């Protein structure tokens, strides 16, 4: 059974989350303040944290930063704050994903399961990608589809590699630009947009309705890869 630590000051929401996760056979630990979250995280070493940003003794960003100083555990923000700047700040602080309130229970559970799957394989390099009927080997820099070989440029492979390291999660534009183009290009996402457009044209079954290289408006991109057997 996976153990989840919920950091939330609203007891009603905590009770809803407890019922939801315990019905899915998660072990549930809770904290209602940033200080308590730090204690519970170190004591229980949970498999995942679900963190609200508005806490009575501080900001949830502090919780994320403190945990990130000693653990790579998946962290999902669950917050009523919807401004892009707040989402970006949470992701830059070390959160893996962001879900806004009010939330859909099935979507939240799906995000949690995806985070746990990613954590299981976090020590592995995701070298083989399945995007629909297309297969990309990042180690050998080869790509194939029903039509045969697909030519990807070195830049396109680097963008895919960056997204693949965080498969299933939001990667901010600045993070991709910093890793692929370098810090001198921060603030200029035009090259990234062109690259993603070209990747969609080559890899998406329907480039105009991307299902795998997904834009998260105002934030960045999320790579959705197919699980084995899908």
Band (72; pLDDT cuts 50, 70, 90)? confident
Cβ neighbors of 146 (< 8 A, separation 6 or more) are 133
pLDDT digits (tens, 9 = 90+) for 113-133: 988 887 665 444 467 888 888
Q: What is the domain partition of the chain in residue ranges? A: 3-120, 128-223
Question: Can 3-120 and 128-223 be said to share one CATH topology?
Answer: no
| Predicted TM-score (pTM) of this structure | 0.65
Tell me which fold the domain 3-120 belongs to. Rossmann fold (3.40.50)
The CATH number for 128-223, chosen from 1.10.286.10, 3.40.50.1950, 1.10.10.10, 3.40.50.720, is 1.10.10.10
Band (230; pLDDT cuts 50, 70, 90)? very low
Q: Is the pLDDT of residue 30 over 90?
A: yes
Q: Which residue has the higher pLDDT, 12 or 127?
A: 12
pLDDT digits (tens, 9 = 90+) for 44-58: 999 999 999 999 998
Q: For the residues 64-91, what does the mean pLDDT come to?
A: 88
Output the average pLDDT for the chain. Answer: 88
């Amino acid at each position: 059974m996976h153990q989840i630590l919920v950091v939330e000051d609203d007891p009603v929401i905590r009770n809803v989350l407890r019922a939801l996760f315990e019905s899915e056979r998660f072990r549930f630990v809770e904290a209602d303040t940033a200080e308590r979250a730090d204690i519970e995280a170190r004591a229980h070493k949970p498999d995942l944290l679900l963190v609200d940003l508005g806490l009575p003794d501080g900001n949830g960003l502090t919780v994320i930063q403190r945990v990130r100083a000693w653990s790579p555990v998946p962290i999902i923000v669950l917050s009523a704050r919807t401004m892009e700047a707040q989402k970006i700040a949470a992701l830059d602080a070390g959160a893996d994903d962001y879900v806004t309130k009010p939330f859909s229970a099935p979507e939240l559970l799906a995000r949690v399961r995806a985070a746990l799957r990613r954590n299981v394989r976090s020590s592995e390099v995701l070298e083989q990608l399945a995007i629909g009927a297309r297969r990309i080997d990042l180690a050998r820099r080869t790509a194939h589809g029903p039509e045969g070989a697909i030519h990807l440029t070195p830049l396109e492979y680097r963008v895919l590699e960056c997204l693949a390291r965080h498969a299933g999660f939001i990667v901010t534009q600045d993070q991709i630009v910093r890793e692929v183009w370098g810090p001198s290009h921060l603030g200029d996402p035009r090259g990234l947009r062109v690259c993603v457009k070209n990747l969609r044209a080559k890899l998406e079954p329907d480039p105009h309705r991307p299902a795998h290289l997904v834009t998260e408006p105002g934030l960045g991109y999320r790579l959705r890869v197919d699980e084995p057997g899908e």
